């Protein structure tokens, strides 16, 4: 087994929409496409956002032309900014805070994503030699999420992300070495529509790979690094993803699969999979 603790159940890194002021539905822009039915500018509330900050079409997003919403995750940043950073005062009650709140949300969302990856890395047995460094970066990232709004607005997230990425890369190398053989580096590879049915991708580096609409039916993705891989419409029917690392729920939500798709602990089979 790769994991020390396979229970990825840190509630602080899971979106709690009931404790959020609909920040992702306001702060973020989107364009009319296969993912969104209409255009929306950053800072403008989505027309489906209700006065109680709930989505009016949450149960039928895909059918209503908003599948892009189903593959987004703030990793808990929404409730953190709403209830902690701004103390429970929403942007409708205090419209003068709206612009700052939306900017801060985008920053904290990036930090929470890093927290999610660092937390997983700390649960990987092969990465034990890095645990002290990982814990230090985890603590520092958590500290940054608690900064005042004015400090968060000015935070250089890109530099911090780079520091975290160096350590995550090292952790990935240690985990993927468990596959017992050198695998071709497919980091950032253009694999759009690739025919990878039944492919042996154990221990593969697929960080940031474009796997849009790729045929991965029956593929072996154990110990593969999938951080940032674009799995939109990728066919994962019968694929084995157990032990894969840095895979997130939004990536699965964007893909296709079936009852025979094997998932890592802590991730759930999307409702739209057959």
Residue 163, in any domain of the structure: yes
Task: Select from 77, 76, 72 the least CA-distant residue to 35.
Answer: 72
Residue ending a domain, among 176, 205, 232, is 176
What tokens were used for 91? 């942007």
Task: Select from 110, 107, 115, 108 the least CA-distant residue to 135.
Answer: 115
Are 19 and 117 within one domain?
yes
Q: Rounded to whole angstroms, how far apart are CA atoms 70 and 232? A: 12
Q: What's CA 62's distance to the chain center, in Å?
A: 19
| pTM of the predicted model as reported, rounded to 2 decimal places | 0.92
Are 17 and 93 within one domain?
yes
CB 19 within 8 A of CB 83: yes
How many residues appear in the chain? 274
- pLDDT for 6 equals 37
Are 166 and 225 within one domain?
no
Q: Rounded to whole angstroms, how far apart are CA atoms 152 and 138? A: 17
Q: Domain limits at 19? A: 11-28+72-176
Residue 112, in any domain of the structure: yes
CB 140 within 8 A of CB 186: no
Residue 136, in any domain of the structure: yes
Count of domains forming the chain: 2
- pLDDT for 7 equals 40
Residue ending a domain, among 159, 176, 193, is 176
Are 196 and 138 within one domain?
no
- pLDDT for 182 equals 74
| Domain harbouring 239, CATH code | 2.160.20.80
Q: Rounded to whole angstroms, how far apart are CA atoms 31 and 239? A: 32
CB 238 within 8 A of CB 258: yes
Are 21 and 148 within one domain?
yes
Are 76 and 208 within one domain?
no
Angle 98-122/131-145 helices, nearest 10 degrees?
160
The pLDDT tens digits along the chain (274 residues) read 454 443 434 778 999 999 999 999 999 999 999 999 999 999 999 999 999 999 999 999 989 999 999 899 999 999 999 999 999 999 999 999 999 999 999 999 999 999 999 999 999 999 999 999 999 999 999 999 999 999 999 999 999 999 999 999 999 999 999 988 777 789 999 999 999 999 999 999 999 999 999 999 999 999 999 999 999 999 999 999 999 999 999 999 999 999 999 999 989 999 889 7
């Amino acid at each position: 087994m790769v994991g020390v603790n396979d229970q990825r159940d840190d509630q602080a890194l899971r979106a709690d929409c009931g404790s959020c002021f609909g920040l992702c539905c306001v702060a973020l822009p989107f364009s009319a496409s296969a993912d969104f039915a209409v255009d929306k500018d950053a800072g403008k509330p989505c027309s489906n956002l209700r006065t109680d900050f709930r989505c009016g079409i949450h149960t039928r997003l895909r059918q209503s032309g908003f599948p892009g919403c189903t593959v987004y995750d703030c990793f808990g940043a929404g409730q953190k900014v709403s209830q902690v950073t701004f103390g429970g005062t929403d942007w409708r009650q205090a419209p003068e805070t709206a612009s700052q709140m939306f900017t801060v949300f985008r920053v904290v969302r990036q930090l929470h994503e890093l927290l999610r990856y660092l937390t997983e890395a700390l649960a990987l047995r092969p990465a034990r030699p890095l645990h002290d460094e990982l814990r230090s970066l985890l603590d520092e990232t958590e500290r940054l999420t608690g900064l005042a709004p004015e400090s968060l607005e000015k935070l250089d997230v890109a530099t911090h992300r780079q520091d975290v990425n160096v350590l995550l890369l090292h952790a990935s190398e240690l985990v993927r070495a468990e596959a017992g053989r050198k695998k071709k580096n497919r980091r950032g590879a253009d694999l759009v529509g690739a025919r990878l049915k039944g492919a042996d991708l154990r221990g593969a580096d697929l960080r940031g790979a474009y796997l849009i609409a790729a045929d991965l039916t029956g593929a072996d993705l154990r110990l593969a690094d999938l951080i940032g891989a674009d799995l939109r419409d990728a066919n994962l029917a019968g694929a084995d993803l157990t032990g894969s690392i840095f895979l997130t729920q939004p990536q699965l939500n964007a893909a296709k699969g079936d009852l025979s798709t094997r998932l890592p602990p802590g991730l759930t089979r999307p409702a739209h999979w057959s």
